[in-house]
Amino acid sequence: MPDAGQSPGSPAGHGPAAEPAPGEPTPGKQAPGQPVSERRPSDDSGPGDPAADQVSAARLYDFFLGGHRNFAVDRELGRRLIDAEPGILQAARSSRAFLRRAVRFLATAGIGQFLDLGSGMPAADSVHEIARQIRPGARVGYVDSDPSAVAHGRQALAGDPGATAVRHDLRDPDGVFADPEVGDLLDLDKPVGLLLVTVLHQIPDDDDPAEVVRGYASRVAPGSYLVLAHPTFESCPAAGAIAELCEGGSAARIQARSRAAIAGFLDGLELAEPGIVHLPLWRPDGPVPERPERAWSYGGVGRKPGAAPDARPGARHERRGPAS
Residue 178 sits in a domain of what CATH number? Answer: 3.40.50.150
Residue 26 falls inside a structural domain:
no
The contacts of residue 107 (CB under 8 Å, 6+ apart) are 130, 131, 133, 134, 135, 138
| Amino acid identity for residue 288 in this structure | V
Nearest to 146 by CA among 168, 125, 163, 164: 168
Exposure class string for 243-256: b at 16+ Cβ within 10 A, else e: bebbeebebbbbbb
Give me the sign of the Cα torsion angle 14, 17, 23, 27: negative
Q: What is the pLDDT along the chain (324 residues), one digit of tens a residue?
A: 333 334 444 434 322 222 333 333 332 332 323 332 333 333 333 344 546 778 888 888 899 988 888 899 999 999 999 999 888 888 999 999 999 999 999 999 999 999 999 999 887 789 999 999 999 999 999 999 889 899 999 999 999 999 999 999 999 999 999 999 999 999 999 999 999 999 999 899 999 999 999 999 999 999 999 999 999 988 777 877 887 787 765 566 788 999 999 999 999 999 999 999 999 999 999 999 999 998 889 999 999 999 887 644 333 333 344 454
Q: How far is CA 301 from the centre of its chain?
A: 14
The contacts of residue 32 (CB under 8 Å, 6+ apart) are 159
Residue 6 falls inside a structural domain:
no
The contacts of residue 18 (CB under 8 Å, 6+ apart) are 26, 68
| Peptide bond preceding 274 in cis form (omega within 30 of 0) | yes
CA distance to 129, 161, 172, per residue, from 321 (Å)? 17, 10, 27
- Backbone phi and psi for residue 309, each to the nearest 5 degrees, phi listed first: -50, -45
| Amino acid identity for residue 238 in this structure | A
Q: Is 293 helix (H, G, I), strand (E, B) or coil?
A: helix
CA distance to 88, 140, 321, per residue, from 1 (Å)? 11, 20, 32
Give a three-class secondary structure readout of 167-178: ECCCCCHHHHHH
Residue 25 falls inside a structural domain:
no
Residue 196 falls inside a structural domain:
yes
Q: How many domains, the chain?
A: 1
Residue 5 falls inside a structural domain:
no
62 lies in which domain range? Answer: 36-311
CA distance to 65, 164, 174, 188, 283, per residue, from 177 (Å)? 30, 13, 5, 9, 30
How far is Cα 261 from Cα 298, in angstroms, rounded to an integer? Answer: 10
CA distance to 278, 292, 305, per residue, from 281 (Å)? 6, 7, 24
Residue 128 falls inside a structural domain:
yes
Residue 88 falls inside a structural domain:
yes
Residue 323 falls inside a structural domain:
no
